Amino acid sequence: MNIDLEIFSPVQAISNPLFDEHDVKVFLKRDDLIHPMISGNKWRKLKYLLKTAQEQQKDHLVTFGGAYSNHLLATAAAAARFGFKATGIVRGEAVDNDTLFLCKLHGMQLIFTDRESYRDKPALFANYFGNNEDAFFIDEGGASAEGALGCSELVDELTETYDHIFCACGTGTTAAGIINGLTRHQLKTTFNAIPVFKNGSFMKNEIDHLLTAPIHYDLHTDYHFGGYGKANNELIDFIKQFVAATGIVIEPVYTGKMMYALYDLIAKKHFKPGSKILAIHSGGIWGLLGMKDKF
Ligand SMILES: *Cc1c(COP(=O)(O)O)cnc(C)c1O
pLDDT of residue 39: 86
Ligand 1, residues 258, 282, 286, 288: which to mutate, most atoms within 8 A of Cβ? 282
pLDDT of residue 230: 96
Atom of ligand 1 nearest to the CA of 281: 13
Can you give the C-alpha Rg of the chain in angstroms?
19
Ordered domains of the chain (ranges, CATH): 11-37+145-294 (3.40.50.1100), 41-142 (3.40.50.1100)
Picking from 238, 286, 280, the residue whose alpha carbon sits closest to that of residue 263 is 238
pLDDT of residue 212: 97
Residue numbers in the chain where pLDDT is lower than 70 = none
Ligand 1 centre distance from Cα of residue 31 (Å): 11
Picking from 158, 176, 175, 156, the residue whose alpha carbon sits closest to that of residue 167 is 175
pLDDT of residue 201: 96
Residues with CB under 6 A from ligand 1: 40-42, 70-71, 141, 168-175, 254-255, 282-284
Ligand 1 centre distance from Cα of residue 131 (Å): 31
Q: What is the model's pTM?
A: 0.98
Per DSSP, the chain holds a count of helices (H) and strands (E) of 11, 10
Count of other CB atoms within 10 angstroms of residue 209: 11
Ligand 1 centre distance from Cα of residue 139 (Å): 13
User: Collapsing DSSP states into helix, strand and coil, what is residue 147?
Assistant: helix
Q: Which residues, in sequence order, are CB contacts of 171 under 8 Å at separation 6+?
A: 140, 141, 142, 143, 206
Q: Which helix (H) or strand (E) holds 281?
A: strand 276-281
pLDDT digits (tens, 9 = 90+) for 217-242: 999 999 999 999 999 999 999 999 99
Ligand 1 centre distance from Cα of residue 254 (Å): 7
94/67 Cα distance (integer angstroms) = 9
